[in-house]
């Protein structure tokens, strides 16, 4: 595997496509004040949470209000061969929304309407700019909720584009399992629909799954129909500390292998707990811990929790504390979701090179512990969190963005971590997507033949390579 290029050297290696004055004039004539060329707006849309820091911003930003806006913007850009980069809230971690070949950023954050709630069918249809928190706030009166929770208050469109998952995936699955139907604007500006609100279908190719996880490289999603679920009758959360990371991981493996229907099980290492305590003013024991949540009937939740507590004790847990009120649970999960930003704050001015591997649950301990040993030996600051219930964990290497040696060290660690995960039957990315950062890793994982098949699909649906070019694989 070849480690990705240092971010400060990315720009010279990538050819920028010119956005002509004629194209800009047509976009401004069509969109008026909703087409911005202001440098501050362009720069805001030209960066994300990835380590890439020296990529030129897009030439313009279009703020779409509806599907017709998206279709017109794409059609105008297609006529001039100008790249289009969909933009939600900018929380991606792998460089997905960076204008590496120039072009126009298409911001769909103003397309933020919940279009229909079909409570009887347990489905909802939304525009792509709706965020997960907004969706749950708008449907909570129905007694239903949308469970996919990647941590950041990401847009539903972005979550579909990267096939996101998060803390609840161990029980409710990922975006792949929870997207039923889409409205998509293709690379030519045509509007198509894929799937239906029915729970299953055998009608033709599964185009919905093709677009979910395509990272904006095949089209722009403008309507999304999702599965939603009844709010559980009872919810209980627990924090369990361990003397070692290995004990926490082995507890997780035992919980899953015994078939306990736990809703969430998150691992946080001691360094992350320390950062979270400082960031969120908490007093959690600064040791490896599991943050768990149980959903179901009162009796079912009690039984699950009792079983998990017994398993934890067998593996040497040193404490097991309950959080039963909504306020206590919210406080704990907010702290978990802020772990990334807490870690960044622990080294002011740093950037995080994040890993995102996922392995079969039986291989989790080997993958994680060997990777942590390598991180410790490197001397580079790092943090670890994981949705370990489904074998997915993240190591974040905290680097000085102006120090190429630190970036090279982080990428070498990342390379070894990914190689280990693939050897154990896992994947280079469990939920973040490929973007820029994992393009070489995808080729190693999938093989040249499979990547070439992906290229064939891309060329067929986007013959002029205008949809978020330079992501997932090169053409």
The full set of domain ranges for the chain reads 7-110, 114-230, 234-423
**Gap between the Cα atoms of 37 and 61, Å rounded:** 7
**For range 163-184, the mean pLDDT:** 95
What confidence category does residue 12 fall into, taking pLDDT thresholds of 50, 70 and 90? very low
pLDDT for position 334: 81
235-254 per-position pLDDT tens digit:
999 999 999 999 999 999 99
Whether residue 5 has pLDDT greater than 70: no
With left for phi above 0 and alpha for psi between -120 and 50, is residue 24 left, alpha or beta?
Answer: alpha
Q: Which residues contact 159 (CB under 8 A, 6 or more apart)?
A: 132, 148, 150, 175
**Residue 310: how many CB atoms within 10 A of its CB?**
10
pLDDT for position 394: 94
Backbone angles phi, psi at 244, to 5 degrees: -150, 160
Neighbouring C-alpha atoms within 13 Å toward the C-beta of 119 = 10
392-408 per-position pLDDT tens digit:
999 999 999 889 999 99
Alpha-carbon 431 to chain mean position: 5
Q: Which of residues 410 and 10 earns the better pLDDT score?
A: 410
**Gap between the Cα atoms of 332 and 314, Å rounded:** 24
Whether residue 328 has pLDDT greater than 60: yes
Residue for token digits 């992906």?
A: 454
Whether residue 375 has pLDDT greater than 90: yes
What confidence category does residue 221 fall into, taking pLDDT thresholds of 50, 70 and 90? very high
Does domain 234-423 match CATH 3.90.1210.10? Answer: no
3-state helix, strand, coil in the chain (%, to 5): 40, 20, 35
pLDDT for position 315: 95
From the candidate CATH numbers 2.60.40.10, 1.10.10.10, 3.30.465.10, 3.30.470.20, the one assigned to the domain spanning 114-230: 3.30.465.10
71-98 per-position pLDDT tens digit:
999 999 999 999 999 999 998 889 999 9
Strand 60-63 to strand 35-36: parallel, antiparallel, or no bridges (unpaired)?
A: antiparallel
pLDDT for position 359: 97
92-127 per-position pLDDT tens digit:
889 999 999 999 999 999 999 999 999 999 999 999
SS3 394: strand
Biggest alpha carbon–alpha carbon distance for the chain: 70
Whether residue 385 has pLDDT greater than 60: yes
**For range 443-463, the mean pLDDT:** 97
Whether residue 19 has pLDDT greater than 70: yes
The answer to whether the beta carbons of residues 87 and 157 sit under 8 Å apart is: no
Whether residue 257 has pLDDT greater than 80: yes
> Using alpha carbons only, what angle is made at residue 185 by residues 180 and 188, rounded to the nearest 5 degrees?
145
Alpha-carbon separation of residue 417 from 437, 438, 441 (angstroms): 14, 12, 11
**Residue among 99, 411, 162, 365 nearest 251 (CA):** 365
pLDDT for position 325: 82
**Gap between the Cα atoms of 78 and 427, Å rounded:** 34
- Token readout for 208 is 């919905």
**Residue among 145, 174, 289, 303 nearest 236 (CA):** 303
The answer to whether the beta carbons of residues 157 and 88 sit under 8 Å apart is: yes
pLDDT for position 440: 94
Rounded-to-10 torsion of CA 433, 436, 437, 438: 60
pLDDT for position 1: 54
306 class by beta-carbon count within 10 Å (0-12 exposed, 13-18 middle, 19+ buried): exposed
Whether residue 15 has pLDDT greater than 80: no
Q: Domain spanning 7-110 has what CATH number?
A: 3.30.43.10
**Gap between the Cα atoms of 404 and 391, Å rounded:** 31
Alpha-carbon separation of residue 310 from 236, 288, 297, 303, 321 (angstroms): 16, 18, 20, 11, 13
**For range 298-315, the mean pLDDT:** 93
- Token readout for 127 is 């525009």
**For range 207-223, the mean pLDDT:** 98
**Residue among 385, 235, 380, 347 nearest 296 (CA):** 235
Q: What percent of the chain has pLDDT over 70?
A: 97
Whether residue 370 has pLDDT greater than 70: yes
Q: Which residues contact 206 (CB under 8 A, 6 or more apart)?
A: 195
Mean pLDDT of the chain: 93
What confidence category does residue 16 fall into, taking pLDDT thresholds of 50, 70 and 90? confident
Whether residue 218 has pLDDT greater than 80: yes
What confidence category does residue 49 fall into, taking pLDDT thresholds of 50, 70 and 90? confident
Backbone angles phi, psi at 234, to 5 degrees: -135, 145
pLDDT for position 10: 40
Strand 264-268 to strand 351-354: parallel, antiparallel, or no bridges (unpaired)?
A: unpaired
pLDDT for position 332: 82
pLDDT for position 14: 66
Residue for token digits 């161990």?
A: 170
């Amino acid at each position: 595997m070849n480690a990705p290029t240092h971010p400060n050297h990315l720009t010279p290696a990538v050819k920028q496509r010119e956005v002509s004055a004629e194209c800009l004039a047509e976009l401004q004539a069509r969109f008026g004040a909703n087409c911005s060329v202001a440098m501050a707006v362009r720069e805001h849309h030209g960066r994300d949470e990835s380590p890439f820091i020296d990529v030129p911003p897009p030439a313009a930003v279009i703020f779409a209000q509806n599907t017709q806006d998206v279709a017109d913007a794409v059609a105008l850009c297609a006529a001039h061969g100008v790249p289009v980069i969909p933009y939600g809230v900018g929380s991606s971690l792998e460089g997905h929304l960076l204008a590496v070949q120039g072009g126009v950023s298409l911001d769909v954050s103003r397309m933020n309407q919940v279009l229909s709630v079909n409570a009887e069918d347990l489905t909802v249809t939304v525009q792509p700019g709706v965020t997960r928190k907004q969706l749950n706030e708008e449907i909570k009166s129905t007694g239903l909720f949308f469970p996919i929770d990647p941590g950041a208050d990401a847009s539903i469109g972005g979550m579909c584009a990267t096939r996101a998952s998060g803390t609840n995936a161990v029980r409710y699955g990922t975006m792949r399992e929870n997207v039923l139907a889409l409205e998509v604007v293709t690379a030519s500006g045509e509007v198509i629909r894929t799937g239906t609100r029915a729970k299953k279908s055998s009608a033709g190719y599964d185009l919905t799954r093709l677009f979910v996880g395509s990272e904006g490289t095949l089209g722009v999603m403008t309507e999304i129909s999702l599965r939603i679920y009844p709010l559980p009758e009872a919810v209980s959360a627990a924090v369990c500390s361990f003397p070692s990371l290995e004990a926490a991981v082995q507890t997780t493996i035992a919980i899953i292998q015994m078939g306990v229907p736990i809703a969430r099980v998150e691992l946080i290492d001691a360094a992350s707990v320390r950062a979270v305590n400082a960031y969120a003013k908490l007093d959690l024991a600064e040791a490896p811990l599991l943050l768990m949540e149980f959903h179901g009937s009162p009796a079912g939740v009690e039984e699950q929790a009792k079983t998990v507590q017994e398993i934890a004790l067998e593996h040497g847990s040193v404490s097991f504390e309950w959080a039963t009120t909504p306020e206590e649970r919210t406080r704990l999960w907010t702290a978990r979701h802020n772990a990334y930003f807490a870690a960044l704050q622990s080294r002011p001015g740093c950037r995080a090179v994040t890993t995102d591997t996922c392995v079969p649950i039986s291989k989790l301990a080997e993958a994680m512990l060997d990777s942590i040993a390598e991180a410790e030996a490197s001397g580079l600051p790092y943090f670890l969190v994981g949705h370990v219930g489904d074998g997915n964990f993240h190591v974040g290497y905290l680097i000085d963005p102006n120090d190429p040696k630190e970036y090279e060290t982080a990428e070498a660690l990342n390379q070894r971590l990914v190689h280990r995960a693939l050897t154990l039957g896992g994947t280079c990315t469990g939920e973040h997507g490929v973007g820029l950062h994992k393009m070489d890793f995808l080729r190693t994982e999938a093989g040249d033949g499979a990547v070439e098949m992906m290229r064939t699909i891309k060329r067929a649906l986007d013959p002029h390579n205008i949809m978020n070019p330079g992501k997932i694989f090169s053409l």
